[in-house]
Amino acid sequence: MSTPAPWVRTRLRTAPLSALLTAALAFTVVFLSAALPRAQDRGADAALHSFLRTAGPTATSVEITSGVPRTGDPSQLLDSTAEQIAATVGPVLPLDPSGTVYGRRGAQARRLPDPTLIRPEGVPPEFAVQYQHGAREHLRLTAGQWPDSPPQDGPIPVALSAAAAESVGVKLGMVLDGTKSILDRIPVPPGPQQIRVVGLYAVDNPSDPFWDRFGCAVQACLNLTPSSGPGDPPEKYWYAVALTGSQDVSRAGDWGHGSEDYWRAPVRVDALRADRLKQTSYDLAAVTQGPVSIKLTTGLGRSQVRITTQLRTLIDNAWKRQSAIDSLAEVGPAGTAGVAAVVLCLAAALTTERRTTELRLLRARGAAIRGICRRLLGEGAVTVLPAAAIGALLAFTLLPTPRWLPAAVTAGSVTLLSLLAFPVRAALLLRDKAGSGFSGRRRLMAELAVLATTAAAVTQVVRRGVAPLGEGVDLLLVAAPLLLALTGALLLARLQPALIGVLARWAGRRPGAVAFLGLARAARGNGRSRPSALPLLALVLAVTCGAVGATVLSSVALKRTDVARHNIGGDASVGAGTLAGLSDAFLSAADRMPGVDVSLPVWTSEDVTLSLGNGSSFRVNVVVADPVRYAELAEIAGRGRFDPAVFTAQPDGSMPALVSSDLPEGTFSLRLGGGEPVRIHTVAVADATPAMNGAVGTTVVLPLGPATDLLPRFGAPSKWLAGGNIDDARLRALAAQYLGPPAAGDQPGHVVRTRAGEAAVLGDDPLQASAERMFWVTVGATALFALLSVLLTLLRAGPERAATLARLRTMGLRPRQGLVLILAEALPQTAVAALGGALTAVCGVLLLGPAIDLGPLVGAATTTGLRLTASPILQQALGLALLAALAVLAETAVTARRQITTELRAGDNR
């Protein structure tokens, strides 16, 4: 007797191309399923680290302060306490390897009455004395020596920044007397009140975290004296920090009228993870107020121990930002996962259809269903498991991140689906009895269940909106677009044969049989099988999820534009800033700029006195502008809209005015620039004005015509507003040419704001950028899986279609007519899917759009959800339809190369 052939090896040798395609599909799906969660984690972690770094080293540190011990070596006590703090806090929070920054600082600075020192506004400079451990390793001596000599009586030896010494006028070796500080309201007790500058130093890297919050030790700071009243304005004076050595730590308190010890333990920001923000917040609470705090307070052996940190507030804010974006960010991956699952099921269904005869033959020869499925499972394990392992390993290697569980779970789930889809489909096929009708009833019940679930989910989302902030991802909101797409696809699957049948009957009345034949074949299915809902479902899901994702991104961009216009007061603005006003040359050149549709110079004055009829008065802001152009810009900005025709009435010789709603209607008196009062009367009310963003108080807008005589009291225009497509760089260059350098930090100058620049600032957030990148990646992955579904369908129908074309060619069918036949057969389903997906996306945006909060992605508080626009939906629908058409054309070109004799073989039942 012959030995039975090994099943797996025989099947792989019989169909190597099918095994290779199965492995490629498993590799692609598993790789993407593992890569998407890891990419999300990397984006969230990077956004968290960027958010925390912008707060500065001090904000991301744990700060401990205490009173000064009366006994022991101060320097050694500081060192031992720093080690104890690191040992206690380190197991709870990841501390930065740079180490703890610590030392002793005086409670007060002292004024230096030396007349030779520089006084900006006649106020003597002030110096504080501080000891900071490790300062010698973070600076470079430029003159003198470091104050490390043994303690002696007399002045305290200190080192001073060379930049501070130059600013204040201090020379090396000077002895400086200290008196009561400007901020000190009580007498200074007796004690050493002199310091000697024994060394000068320079800091090569002032941005080093070691010097954070100690900037006055790097260079002198220009402070302001406290103001005691309106007639006593603050005055500038120099303030600097002088450093002492470890031998004179205790003397810092003598100069500073008391002192305190401090330790700043920086937390390693790069070690914090976005998925553990809540736990990090609990750990910080334990350090500042919980058991770790008690351990520190009782274990340090010091008095007045205080533990503070700003990091917990930052972590809580980061958690709120993350949770607000998570629900939106998960919509795209959920759509991709749905399309990928459909593609895997489609591949299993097509493989089962191809091997139906083989499986039924094995069943007829006595093979058990369990045994057949076990063999199919082993066959799939050889092809799927290695490819899935390589895909998961590649994703884990290319996208390293500490969290591995979500990626492992999704990759394992997809691998299990890829492995079981074919055996389960084969088992269902072999269990069904031909003509029983049970499959049709089962399908109907499943479709009704999907319809009911979709209606309930959408209704719940519309009624309650998005889940409250802090409750994690809103699974209902994530699943609702998928359920809508699934319902639309099932409905289209029911309607598709009838719709294409109508087209076939219309084509039958037209001359020529090619289009009718193709549409008829599309309506009844390819070959012996009826139309499958899986290819249609994959395309509808792809179009719907891609269109919803593109609509989200488009709505975010449009909303940022609206917010930018609202903040600016138009599409562009140039404010005088610290300048006296805008020059006529600039206004004339700005009006002629390309892209300027409407421009408006504005005269403004703040703190103008407005008198009521009853003798009372208060301060208001006054704006003078051309009413027609002002109304156009108010419409563009979306704030302060009004009808300019209201300014035509001028009864009793008074001037018409547009006022805020907090001003009652009537006639009032304005006193501008010390001249004669101007009588005005209210003609309209507008609560906001594009001309004075951020202005506080009542605003009065006067028309330029009647108020022309008042312009000399205002001086030159203080702002230029414009609407249109204005180039940011060109406007800034023009303003710099006519107005000088712009304002930057403390540097005076003009201020330029444009719609593009303001929108870029709103979107300059790593968390928003990560969510947007994930949307685009998922849109691309969804399109890829949709294309795979088209290719799988074409691959299955290819041999049967080639044989049909070969038979028709023997009856005189020309090659061009064959192309029309294939297009007429394959493209209707794609067109129906694209149209159905677009309509489903429109329904999803209309139903779910108002419940989606785009504020976290926009970067500003918003009150509206998704905005329905045709462009993103049409782009997704037409793009996928074009990809499907190209795939059909490519398959047609391959089919056309086959020879008739190759296809028409005796006994071929295709």
pLDDT of 435 above 50:
no
The pLDDT value recorded for residue 531 is 47
Q: How many other CB atoms are there within 10 angstroms of residue 429's CB atom?
A: 18
- Percent helix / strand / coil, the chain, rounded to 5: 55, 15, 30
746 or 906: whose pLDDT is higher?
A: 746
Q: How many residues does the chain have?
A: 910
Q: At what angle do helices 533-568 and 766-810 cross, to 10 degrees?
A: 150
3-state secondary structure of 379: helix
The pLDDT value recorded for residue 434 is 46
Strands 259-266 and 61-66: antiparallel
Residue 67 contacts residue 303 (beta carbons within 8 Å): yes
Tell me phi and psi for residue 148, to 5 degrees.
Answer: -115, 10
Per-residue pLDDT tens over the stretch 780-828: 888 888 888 877 777 776 667 777 777 777 777 776 777 777 777 777 8
Lowest mean pLDDT among 4-18, 213-227, 534-548, 616-630: 4-18
Percent of the chain with pLDDT over 70: 89
Q: CA 351 to CA 796: how far, in whole Å?
A: 8
Nearest to 604 by CA among 687, 679, 693: 693
Q: How many other CB atoms are there within 10 angstroms of residue 736's CB atom?
A: 14
840 or 855: whose pLDDT is higher?
A: 840
Q: What is the DSSP string of 608-673?
A: EEEE-TTS-EEEEEEEEE-HHHHHHHHHHHTSS---GGGGG--GGGPEEEEE-TTSPSSEEEEE-T
Strands 678-685 and 655-659: parallel
Per-residue pLDDT tens over the stretch 661-700: 777 777 888 877 666 788 888 888 887 788 877 666 778 8
Q: CA 823 to CA 522: how far, in whole Å?
A: 10
The pLDDT value recorded for residue 904 is 59
3-state secondary structure of 259: strand
Q: How many other CB atoms are there within 10 angstroms of residue 388's CB atom?
A: 26
The pLDDT value recorded for residue 201 is 93
pLDDT of 369 above 80:
yes
The pLDDT value recorded for residue 436 is 45
Per-residue pLDDT tens over the stretch 458-496: 888 777 766 655 566 777 778 888 888 888 888 888 887
The position carrying tokens 């920054």 is 101
Nearest to 485 by CA among 834, 29, 869: 834
What is the pLDDT averaged over residues 853-873?
A: 76
Residue 513 tokens read as: 């049989």
3-state secondary structure of 131: strand
Q: How many other CB atoms are there within 10 angstroms of residue 595's CB atom?
A: 14
Lowest mean pLDDT among 557-566, 802-811, 868-877: 802-811
638 or 308: whose pLDDT is higher?
A: 308
3-state secondary structure of 50: helix
Confidence of residue 187 (pLDDT cuts 50, 70, 90): low
DSSP conformation class of 697: S
- Residue 260: which H helix or E strand, with range? strand 259-266
Q: CA 853 to CA 861: how far, in whole Å?
A: 9
Q: How many other CB atoms are there within 10 angstroms of residue 893's CB atom?
A: 10
Q: CA 12 to CA 20: how far, in whole Å?
A: 9
Per-residue pLDDT tens over the stretch 696-744: 677 888 888 888 878 877 888 888 999 888 888 899 899 888 888 887 7
56: left (phi over 0), alpha (psi -120 to 50) or beta: left
Residue 156 contacts residue 251 (beta carbons within 8 Å): yes
The pLDDT value recorded for residue 397 is 92
Q: At what angle do helices 533-568 and 331-354 cross, to 10 degrees?
A: 170
Q: CA 70 to CA 625: how far, in whole Å?
A: 70
Q: What is the DSSP string of 221-251?
A: EEEEPPP-BTTB---EEEEEEEE--GGGTTH
Residue 374 contacts residue 420 (beta carbons within 8 Å): no
The pLDDT value recorded for residue 109 is 86
Residue 800 contacts residue 910 (beta carbons within 8 Å): yes
The position carrying tokens 């509808």 is 540
The pLDDT value recorded for residue 783 is 81
Confidence of residue 651 (pLDDT cuts 50, 70, 90): low
Own/partner pairs, 281-286, CB within 8 angstroms, 24+ separation: 281/312, 281/315, 281/316, 281/319, 283/92, 283/93, 284/62, 284/93, 284/309, 284/311, 284/312, 284/315, 285/312, 286/92
Residue 245 contacts residue 49 (beta carbons within 8 Å): no
Write out the E strands in 326-404: none
Percent of the chain with pLDDT over 90: 9
Nearest to 223 by CA among 209, 240, 207, 211: 240
Residue 774 tokens read as: 């994930």
pLDDT of 529 above 50:
no
The pLDDT value recorded for residue 770 is 81
Tell me phi and psi for residue 293, to 5 degrees.
Answer: -65, -45
Q: CA 762 to CA 759: how far, in whole Å?
A: 5
CA distances from 123 to 109, 116, 183, 220, 734 (A): 14, 12, 13, 15, 42
Per-residue pLDDT tens over the stretch 243-276: 998 888 888 887 877 888 999 999 999 899 988 8
The pLDDT value recorded for residue 390 is 94
The pLDDT value recorded for residue 876 is 82
pLDDT of 528 above 50:
no
What is the pLDDT averaged over residues 269-287?
A: 89
Q: CA 624 to CA 500: how far, in whole Å?
A: 65
- Residue 60: which H helix or E strand, with range? none
The pLDDT value recorded for residue 738 is 86
Residue 611 contacts residue 617 (beta carbons within 8 Å): yes
The pLDDT value recorded for residue 499 is 78
The pLDDT value recorded for residue 906 is 47
Residue 818 tokens read as: 């064959």
Q: CA 44 to CA 36: how far, in whole Å?
A: 12
The pLDDT value recorded for residue 650 is 60
Residue 565 contacts residue 637 (beta carbons within 8 Å): yes
The pLDDT value recorded for residue 527 is 45
Exposure letters 2-28 (e unless 16+ CB within 10 A, then b): eeeeeebeebbeebeebbebbbebbbb
Q: How many other CB atoms are there within 10 angstroms of residue 209's CB atom?
A: 18
Sign of the four-CA dihedral 700, 704, 707, 712: positive
CA distances from 137 to 146, 211, 490, 648, 880 (A): 11, 12, 72, 74, 62
What is the pLDDT averaged over residues 44-61?
A: 88
Mean pLDDT, all residues of the chain: 81
Tell me how far the alpha carbon of residue 310 is from its chain's centroid.
Answer: 23
The vertex-235 CA angle with 230 and 241, nearest 5°, equals 140
pLDDT of 31 above 90:
yes
Residues 6+ apart with CB under 8 A from 420: 377
Q: What is the DSSP string of 803-855?
A: HHHHHHHHTT--HHHHHHHHHHHHHHHHHHHHHHHHHHHHHHHHHHGGG---H
